[in-house]
Amino acid sequence: MLADAAHDTAAAVRTDWSRDEIAALFDLPFTELVFCAAAVHRAHHRAGEVQLCTLLSIKTGGCPEDCGYCSQSVKADSGVAATRLMDVQAVLQSAAQARDAGSKRFCMGAAWRNPKDRDMPAIIAMVQGVREMGMETCMTLGMLTTAQAAQLAEAGLDYYNHNIDTSPERYGEIITTRSFADRLDTLETVRAAGINVCSGGIVGMGETRSDRVGFIHALATLDHHPESVPVNALVPIKGTVLGDMLAETPLAKIDDIEFVRTVAVARITMPLSMVRLSAGREAMSDATQALCFLAGANSIFTGDKLLTAANAGDDKDAALFARLGLKPMDGEEPLRAAKAGARICE
């Protein structure tokens, strides 16, 4: 059976996946693909547990980048006003509220191409303050210098998020103000500083399945898999290039089954990573989210908002967890604790 072949191919944690192998996973019958992804997931992650994370925009709007999906770009006519970097105490208050609501990781995002050195003391204070609350910390600030990455590492930053967004071939159609290589350089800078990597992308941007293969391939063939892999479904926002494009061409939007396939292939090719079901959940049915969890997604963002986009909200998530019999994760993440050469699909 094709699923048996996928099982054998995924017998060890690998960074040498070929595009043909990843394409073959995408082509598996849907139920067999999900079955194999679920087996991989259960080999390394506790079934029925999902990590709760919260994402706060600590500096909104005014970003000079031209990312076609982003309402915070100065190129977008989305009505998002630019703000200054939040006060440290206000950020820590939001973190405390997230912790009390059950979040284990607090992620902070700033709409910058790169942080200025003058902003680093406040950023460092935020990291240190959130860590003192017993939460994992994550930052997404754009590109980093080696010195800035070292400062964040010294402050104890657990994760740095820098998404590759899409395949190398599709990238230039989505963003022109920095290259795909720039993205990879930042990931290398973060990794070299000793910070865990959070990197994923967005599907449903009018890409082909070949692009989704390329997106997974780029992550799964890094020297070290990202500890966290967010898989976002595009939230089309009026006034952005892609939001306006999808309004005119709604068939370009990814369907639910293809989205679940993408989650499953991410799980199989990066078995120890946390696969985060990220933006777009607000528009997903409970059934679609349940399939994503079955296919290996084991982390979500909670709260009513993800940066500037709507999110499901704590009450709705609690009801979903109760309905599905899920519970919040309260343990070590496998890739951070794993030994080299760990096996999957045992």
Report the C-alpha gap between 177 and 165 in whole angstroms: 14
Q: Which of 105, 276, 292, 345 is catalytic?
A: 276
Is 323 among the catalytic positions? no
Q: Which of 36, 70, 292, 345 is catalytic?
A: 70
Q: Calculate Rg over the CA atoms of the chain.
A: 19
In contact, 174 and 69? CB cutoff 8 Å: yes
Is 292 among the catalytic positions? no
Please report which residue ranges of 133-252 form alpha helices under DSSP H.
146-155, 168-174, 180-192, 209-220, 241-248
Which residues are within 8 A (CB) of 262 and not within 5 positions of it... i.e. 6 or more apart? Answer: 203, 212, 216, 231, 254
Is 138 among the catalytic positions? yes
Is 276 among the catalytic positions? yes
Structure-token pair, residue 208: 């082909």
The single-letter code of the amino acid at 247 is A
Q: Which of 67, 178, 212, 292 is catalytic?
A: 67
Structure-token pair, residue 133: 């609350």
Which residues are within 8 A (CB) of 236 and not within 5 positions of it... i.e. 6 or more apart? Answer: 242, 243, 246, 247, 253
Q: Which of 36, 53, 105, 107 is catalytic?
A: 107
Q: Which of 198, 212, 267, 281 is catalytic?
A: 198
Q: Which of 36, 53, 63, 292 is catalytic?
A: 63
Q: Match 């963002």 to its residue by tokens.
A: 301
Q: Which of 324, 269, 244, 247 is nearest to 291 (CA)?
A: 324
Is 53 among the catalytic positions? no
Q: Which residues are catalytic?
A: 63, 67, 70, 107, 138, 198, 276
